[in-house]
Structure 1
Amino acid sequence: MSYAHTEVAQIAAISNDRCIGKDNQLPWHISDDLKHFKALTTDETDAYVDSGFKGIVIMGRKTFESMDSKPLPQRVNFVITTQMDYAETHGLSGREDVHVVHNLDDALTHATNLAHGLKFKTIWVIGGEKVFKNALMFTDRIELTLVDTNIDNGDAFYPKIPNDFEQVAESDSMIDAKSGLSYRFVTYKKKSK
């Protein structure tokens, strides 16, 4: 457990060339991957059910805006932006399901405090490129969907996985019926020292 005794996990879908986004959107639509994402980020079923929340996610402003500036349901959403008036100008002030913070440290600190109160074991970092990169030093686990494709003109990329992580699980390859894309789920964990 690397941040105030709470597991920090990253989750992303990446192409062969590590692309995670193009024009502030996912470069593909794989419904089973979206279901996988939802299942993992709302996994806190044994915690306080009274809150209505089943997970905590941290993301950058562009990732939030790529979701039509709507918080993910059943999750407490932390949005990182340098825009000091972002919460006020976007009608996000005083909400329980969205907290606007101005740096990763504040996001992690507030998210872990909330996780302790709700008895959640994990907080999820869900993007984008800069947030993934900056959060790697605090990350215990990485859940990747490896999509067997290359993206032309992709503009957001997942960072190289550091050597202190090892692959601990991998699913069989699956094919998305609509797109025809092949993909598999892979889990990495930080090596214990």
Structure 2
Amino acid sequence: MSRCVFYLLRHAPTLWNLDKRIQGQWDSELAPVATAQCEALAPQLAGLALARILCSDLGRAKSTAGILNRSLRLPVTLEKRLREQHYGDWTGKHWRDIPPEAIAAAEAAGWSFHPTGGESRADVRQRAEHALIDAAKANGGRNVLVVTHQGVIKAVLYHLLGRAYLPSEPPAFDPNRVQEVVCQGGQLTLGRLDLELPQP
């Protein structure tokens, strides 16, 4: 099976991100700064010789890909398995309204972090990895931009890094930069973190 290189990018900031509200699989509009950020990033992404955009089917990811694609002009595939973690009963709430003890207990569960009515981080990792492996089969020998969510990127990278996903672990990467993952022979491996993008 040919080697496929994925470049993982978090969607542009949303109004709910700025307001510290939990989006999960709900959506809010992109923040006003999003368009300028994407327009500045697109020429740098163009230097990665991308063949396609693989995108979460949630609105904030699709909007981000749409702005980038004004310049990149790539075919886009939507993939529901790249959605953000389902936060269940926490969805739509401000983080400040979640009892601190509930947050602490959830985070202490590591990969089993599981808001009531939602899904675990392990569930997110499994579906996201399957999505990437399936995409690699269809895009062998190509470079693919993946526009997704912080929870998805963390789940994939932390698994490849062998992390326990506990709050005591220091951050492994900058969620606002591009991360590289390689798929070959149906196996995902870690590429470069916090990628230095080519300058246009």
Q: TM-score, normalised by structure 1?
A: 0.40
Q: Which has the larger share of strand?
A: 1
Q: Which has the larger share of helix?
A: 2
